[in-house]
Structure 1
């Protein structure tokens, strides 16, 4: 069975570097969805010290990743990667459930979850 979210090896490497830099070793990486943006939903990634009862725990490339049970259906099949270019590097999120995105590419919506759009 596939994981709800797949974090590539390149993304995991950069997350671990961020954990070391921010003195967050031993923390979980939380990947989630929040209301907002032009299209209604935005992605969130951050570090968290504790797992809650409703969280799904994934382990990939030496990372412990949390996804809330509520966000799991929205994120099903999502791939988090890290890409380098001449302009620098950054995380990319490819969510097969996203049916629309805003022009700036920071928010999205799915067929079943529209979120809470904000003025851009």
Structure 2
């Protein structure tokens, strides 16, 4: 399905530990939009939606909306820190194009 790098796993664990609300995992999905056609959406959630695909990696639960599953199959999510800033990046083998910000794809 999808993979999180060790850096991404650590970032998600840190976010979960710092949350003031109960968190069960990370929800990942795509929506129409962005400059290349689709944009990645992700956030911490208290529980999966009833039809979400559920994966667990090193104790971190990842919930994937079923419509997004085929579009992001095989994606590796990383968390990078650079001079320009820090954030999550997506290496999606399904993408035929992407924008320069790395947050949307086609």
Q: Given the two structures, how large is their TM-score scaled by the length of structure 2?
A: 0.88
> Contact 2:3/2:76 (CA < 8 Å) preserved in 1?
yes
2:92: which partner in 1?
95
For 2:2 and 2:49, locate their aligned partners in 1 and report how far apart those are by CA, in whole Å: 18
Kindly state the Cα deviation for residue 27 of structure 1 after the two structures are TM-superposed.
2.1
> Contact 1:32/1:45 (CA < 8 Å) preserved in 2?
yes
Larger radius of gyration: 1
Structure 2 counterparts to residues 41-52 of structure 1, below 5 A? 41-52=38-49
2:16: which partner in 1?
19
Structure 2 counterparts to residues 100-119 of structure 1, below 5 A? 100-109=97-106
Unaligned runs of 5+ in 1: 110-120
For 1:68 and 1:7, locate their aligned partners in 2 and report how far apart those are by CA, in whole Å: 17
